[in-house]
A and B are shown apart, each in its own frame.
Chain A
Amino acid sequence: MAEIVGNEGGGGGKHQKKRAKKGRVHIDMTPMVDLAFLLITFFILATTLSKPSVMEITYPKEKDVDDVDKTKVRDDLATTILLGKKREHLYFYHGRFKSDTTVLELTDFSKDGIRKVFLEKNRDILEKIKTEEKNYQENKITEEEFIKRRRSIKGDDNAPFVIVKTLDKTPYRSVIDVVDELNIANIGKFAIQDMAESEDITLRQTLAAAGEAGV
């Protein structure tokens, strides 16, 4: 569709004198522009989409010392999540484990499931963070200061501590989902560990009672 304007001598009759071409030659560049912007759009999308998101987890230095019994976590702050072999096997209990009295509660990965448990547990901390966030939004503190304060609030001695206990056959997806929920609930203190023998037994009993055979 290259449109050439100003060249009037082309279709003229024989009697007309040949004139030197006058005027400028215009080329319609619309299709080219279309193509260029299509390419731009493609590359913009391709570059941003190819970077996957990551979740950062820092493990403790020593492998097995962060048990509730061994560290001095207050009983009322500790929550333990037990992850079974199947994705639906998501149990938790608060406080210290006692094989005869601890009752495992069943929950799930929905919005009203484990997220609610965590948010409730972490209510005080969340309120503090919200105050700081407000300060930040009202430009009372800098972003750096806000991040620093949030970190110290999350690591506070009174902040809840969550232990995620896994079996060998626990699907990796469950672990990631629990940690994701912890991040959503702003719980900064957590650890991923192997399930203790006694907890495994209680989990089996609970599952058996719930009618799940062959676990």
Chain B
Amino acid sequence: MPKIKMPRSSPSLDMTPMVDLGFLLVTFFILTAKFRPVEPVVIDMPSSHATIKLEDKVMLITVDKDGRIFFDLGNPVVRQNMLKNMAERYPAVLQPQLTEDFVTRFSNLGSFGVPVAQLKDYVMADEGDRADLDKTVSGIPADSLSNELGDWIMAGYTEFVRYAKEEEGMTDDDLRKKGLKYAIKADGDTDYEKVKKVVDTFRDREIYSFNFVTSLEQEPKK
């Protein structure tokens, strides 16, 4: 009687397709992942039950605990144009300082919170120095006398619209549906007065709808 032969090696499964798929997904996620940009200040956002997510095309105004205002607009090309646009609005202060290096560096930056006069020093500083500067900067002025924030908003908006129309071929109708959103991210302990100052600056420029950035509600409120 012939013996039954036991299989010698353990059964092996061809995992190649799974590995292929796995790495395809990894590659996809690595390429699409957007890491949170470096933030100049720590913001303890209030929580809410809101479920709408923050969109990509957004002008972000950050207000920290002491009411300092920071400004951010994502796209590097728009940022370059915005800085040039801003230089035209401040011919005495910003225009003479405008160099190629300054513009390039500025376009790769995140949020900033300095008056126009100090902008170049801030942008040209090393990363470590900039982090130190962030602790002491005064924020973007938004008082009725010198409302630089308003000028940044207008410069950013103008250049965003131009870029969207010329480069991305968006029509007015597209812009109305998925144009620039205005996000305000403020610390929960900020006085409402400071946030109102930002909101009023927008309202003076005929922008009335805002996205207030909040964290997700976790524990019941006290």
Binding site for B on A (CB under 8 A): 5, 26, 28-30, 32-33, 36-37, 39-40, 43-44, 46-47, 50-61, 63, 83, 108-111, 166-177, 179-180, 183-184
Cβ contacts A to B, 19 pairs, < 8 Å: A5-B12, A33-B15, A33-B22, A36-B23, A47-B33, A53-B51, A53-B214, A54-B211, A56-B52, A59-B203, A61-B208, A108-B222, A109-B222, A170-B191, A171-B190, A173-B46, A177-B221, A180-B48, A180-B217
Q: Which of B86-94, B108-116, B192-200 interfaces with chain A?
A: B192-200
Interface residues of B in 1-16 (CB under 8 A from A): 9, 12, 15-16
- CB <8 Å contact, B19 and A47: no
Binding site for A on B (CB under 8 A): 9, 12, 15-16, 18-19, 22-23, 25-26, 29-30, 32-36, 45-46, 48-54, 63, 183, 185-196, 199-200, 203, 208-217, 220-222
Smallest CB gap from B222: residue in A:
A109
Out of B36, B211, B216, name the residue touching A50 (CB < 8 Å). B36
Across the A-B interface, the 10 shortest Cβ-Cβ residue pairs: A43-B29, A173-B188, A36-B22, A54-B211, A168-B193, A55-B50, A180-B48, A173-B46, A109-B221, A176-B46
Beyond A53-B52, A53-B53, A172-B189, is A60–B208 a contact (Cβ under 8 Å)?
yes
Contacts of A36 in B (CB 8 A): 19, 22-23, 25-26
Extra A-B contacts (5), CB below 8 Å, given A169-B193, A172-B187: A36-B23, A52-B54, A54-B211, A172-B191, A177-B48
What distance in Å separates the Cβ of B193 from its nearest Cβ neighbour in chain A?
A: 4
- CB <8 Å contact, B53 and A54: yes
Inter-chain residue pair count (beta carbon < 8 A): 157
- CB <8 Å contact, A110 and B220: yes
- CB <8 Å contact, A55 and B52: yes
What distance in Å separates the Cβ of B76 from its nearest Cβ neighbour in chain A?
A: 19
- CB <8 Å contact, B183 and A172: no
Contacts of B199 in A (CB 8 A): 59
Contacts of B213 in A (CB 8 A): 52-54
Q: Is the interface of B mostly helix, strand, loop or mixed?
A: mixed
Contacts of A55 in B (CB 8 A): 48, 50, 52, 211-212, 214
Contacts of B209 in A (CB 8 A): 56-59
Contacts of B210 in A (CB 8 A): 56-59
Contacts of B193 in A (CB 8 A): 168-170
What distance in Å separates the Cβ of A161 from its nearest Cβ neighbour in chain B?
A: 18
- CB <8 Å contact, A176 and B19: no
Tell me the bound Cα distance from A170 to B193 in angstroms. Answer: 7
Beyond A33-B15, A36-B19, A109-B222, is A54–B52 a contact (Cβ under 8 Å)?
yes
What distance in Å separates the Cβ of B108 from its nearest Cβ neighbour in chain A?
A: 19
Which one of A60, A167, A172 has the highest number of Cβ atoms from chain B below 10 Å of its Cβ? Answer: A172
- CB <8 Å contact, B208 and A170: no
Tell me the bound Cα distance from A182 to B33 in angstroms. Answer: 34
Smallest CB gap from B52: residue in A:
A54
Smallest CB gap from B203: residue in A:
A59
- CB <8 Å contact, A176 and B189: no
Smallest CB gap from A169: residue in B:
B191
Smallest CB gap from A115: residue in B:
B221
Smallest CB gap from A110: residue in B:
B221
Contacts of A172 in B (CB 8 A): 46, 63, 186-192, 194-195
- CB <8 Å contact, A184 and B26: no
Contacts of B191 in A (CB 8 A): 168-172
Tell me the bound Cα distance from A50 to B53 in angstroms. Answer: 10
Contacts of B214 in A (CB 8 A): 52-55, 176, 180
Which one of B16, B18, B190, B191 has the highest number of Cβ atoms from chain A below 10 Å of its Cβ? Answer: B191
